[in-house]
Structure 1
Amino acid sequence: MDEIRIADGGLEISVSRQGGAIRSATFHGRAVLQPRGGPDGGMASFPLVPFGNRVEYNVMTVQGRDYSFQPNTDDPLHLHGDGWLGLWNVQAQDERSLTLSYEHEAGRVSPYRYSASQGFSVSDCRFENVLSVTNRGDTSMPFGLGFHPFFPLTPNVTLLAPASRLWTERQGYLPDAPVAIPEELDFSTPRPVPDRWINNAFEGWSGAASIRWPELDLVAKIEMDGIFGNYMIYTPGNADFFCFEPMSHLPNGHHMRDFGGLVLLAPGESLAGRMTISLSAAGI
């Protein structure tokens, strides 16, 4: 596996060209991200580009034109776009930063043609992950961005991430309907993440969140650029991780009004967003 390490102070991150994924992230020896995802189960965070989550029926209609997808994993629906499954190229690197690029051509599996880039940087107690995409196709297409990190699910972990409403889940792991957020999942104040099946989208989010692990004496403060007004929470239950996934759009946005937040990019247009995670001791 072609992995690249960047580090500063007590913060160390290992990034793989395969999937453009973070394979590990530690802060003074404590795991900030868990390697639990991706095709081999070894990804600790991966990029969502040119969109996140599933495309219902493996089809979409854009400006009166129909497009089709093929499954790209064992799931029957096309999942998380292409970036997390592709091989990225190194554009620049030093001890504390790394830039990767990825080119995708339209084909049978996906109708998207685009260029993507990722920047990773660490500075003592914080790291940044910048993701961008440019439409290289000859027609306008709906694009979105997101990040899919896997955080440790400890008995006393709490999450703070205020949102306005939640989407219930229906068959096929797809969003069903927007509802008021139930108390158990209302993270407008710090609340434990339930250790059960959760696979829900939240919207109306400011882009700020905080995760606290008393057992690890660790706090992660998450700050997102303004395009990220939604997030997903996923955990299968009886697991040692949960996913908190900032997204610029809602899952299955291809079948929602106004594409659920997906941005219609004309040929040559771009979309970019940044995730910043700042780390400190839990007592601070």
Structure 2
Amino acid sequence: MLILQAGGLEAAIIPESGGILSRLTWSDSAGRRHEVLRPSPDGKASTASPNFFGSWAMLPFANRTFGSVVDDGEARFQVPANDPVGTIHGFGWQSAWDVLEHDRGHTVLEHRRIDGPDPYRYRARQEIRLDAAGLTIGISIRNEAETVLPFGIGHHPWFPCAADTRLVMQAAGALVFGEAFRATGQESFADGGPYAAPRAFRSGSVTAWSFLGWDGRARIETPSTGLAITLTASESLRCPVVWAPAGADFLCVEPQSHAIGAPSEPAARAAAPLRRLAPGEVLEGWLRIAPEAL
């Protein structure tokens, strides 16, 4: 486990378990300690099933590919299944990452895929940096195959959610979902979408959005704990998924480069597709998580 520290922030990273950022805590000026990301109940990270805590990389595509099919309209192939519906969140979260650099407030991790039953061959990196005001994660993937392939990237933060937690973010539109989160089309918002104005997030039913045209900023406020979190992301990660089960004690705002289901679903691909990378070409982006006292 790697520990990073800067100011009142401390992060824990487990390279061998998917390169997961397993914990992020912040001590405010009054000495109160806040869990900025949802902590693991037992401190353990799994590569057998997705982790419901911390934050971790999604690549070479984010979220779901139904039936384990990757089809961008030009290339079509199967990838290994890791979920009942097909393949979820790619391969990075199930892989060990090598530590290339590490100091008190910074680390660089690398994961390479050099074989497998599908064409994906790539070199992925995460650069995780703490400063006194927040945490920044840079993520990149380089196509190391000998052919053009469709790629996507993202990161999957899990934020604590209390009864009074509210989410504020704006987007131009979203996918329309049919059964099992399969896209059937898209809709436009005239007013910035369902979270344009502050509102309590927790709901008695599942929350699931694949937003389009996000402005790159989301704010999560919890008055009962006195914590506000601002999430920002690069232009390349402006297709966030927002998800939580009914009544959950967490919420997910997942910056990613393409719409949910885009690896396999024509309607999602039409809205926000994967990026076709030539051999040696790189897709990259960043997200930043900054806590503050309310």
Same fold (TM over 0.5): yes
Look up the match of 1:159. Answer: 167
| Aligned twin of 1:215 | 224
Q: CA deviation at 1:125?
A: 2.3
Alpha-carbon deviations, 1:163-217, whole Å to 9, x = none? Answer: 111223322333332135599x611122221323112211110111111111121
**Are the aligned partners of 2:161 and 2:202 in contact in 1 as well (CA < 8 Å)?**
no
1:52 and 2:50 matched:
no
CA gap of 1:64–1:245, structure 2 versus 1, over 3 A, is closer
- Structure 1 residues 141 and 259 mapped into 2: Cα distance closer, same or farther (>3 Å)? farther
Cα deviation digits, residues 36-82 of structure 1 (max 9, x gap): 68627464111111111111232234564431123124x23111110
Which residue matches 2:30?
A: none
Q: Distance in 1 between matches of 2:232 and 2:72?
A: 32
- CA–CA separation in structure 1 for the residues paired with 2:194 and 2:19: 32
Deviations 1:124-171 (A, max 9, x none): 121101100000001111111111000011111111110111223322
Identity of aligned residues (%): 27
CA contact (8 A) 1:8 1:96 kept: yes
1:30 and 2:41 matched: no
SS at match of 1:45: coil
Residue 143 (structure 1) aligned to one of 151, 168, 176: 151
Q: Distance in 1 between matches of 2:243 and 2:288?
A: 20
Would the aligned equivalents of 1:19 and 1:46 in 2 still touch at CA under 8 Å? Answer: yes
8 Å Cα contact 1:27-1:125 kept in structure 2: no
Q: CA RMSD in A?
A: 2.2
AA matched with 2:109 = L
Give the count of matched residue pairs. Answer: 278
Question: What residue in structure 2 maps to residue 20 of structure 1?
Answer: 19
> Match of 1:269, as an amino acid?
E
Contact 1:159–1:211 (Cα < 8 Å) also in 2: yes
Question: What is the alpha-carbon distance in structure 1 between the residues aligned to residue 195 and residue 53 of structure 2?
Answer: 26
Match of 2:241 among 216, 225, 232: 232
The secondary structure found in structure 1 opposite 2:224 is helix
State yes or no: 1:68 paired with 2:78.
yes
Residues 212-249 of structure 1: CA deviation (Å, up to 9, x unaligned): 11112111112211112211111111221111111111
Corresponding letter in the other structure for 2:290: S
Confirm whether residue 90 of structure 1 aligns to residue 99 of structure 2: yes
C-alpha separation in 2, matches of 1:41 and 1:269: 30
**What amino acid is aligned across from residue 3 of structure 2 in structure 1?**
R
Match of 1:78 among 87, 96, 101: 87
**Residue 6 in structure 1 maps to residue 15 in structure 2:** no
User: 1:263 maps to what in 2?
Assistant: 275
Q: Which amino acid counterpart does residue 156 of structure 2 have in structure 1? A: H
| Alignment partner, residue 176 of structure 1 | 184
TM-aligned CA distance change 1:105 to 1:209, over 3 Å: same
**2:214 is equivalent to residue 205 of structure 1:** yes
Measured in 2, the distance between the counterparts of 1:64 and 1:268 equals 19
TM-score, normalised to structure 1, is 0.90
Letter in 2 for 1:189: A
| Alignment of 1:280 onto 2:292 | yes
Alpha-carbon contact 2:143-2:279 (below 8 Å) kept: yes
> What secondary structure is seen at the aligned counterpart in 1 of 2:125?
strand
Closer, same or farther in 2 for the Cα pair 1:249/1:40, shift >3 Å?
closer
Distance 2:52 2:214 in 1: 29
Q: Describe the superposition over 1:16-38 as per-residue Cα deviations: whole angstroms up to 9, x where unpaired.
A: 11111111111112101013686
Q: CA deviation at 1:98?
A: 0.8
- 2:14 maps to a residue whose letter is S
Structure-2 change in CA distance of 1:42 and 1:201 (3 Å):
closer
Q: Equivalent residue of 1:227, what SS?
A: helix
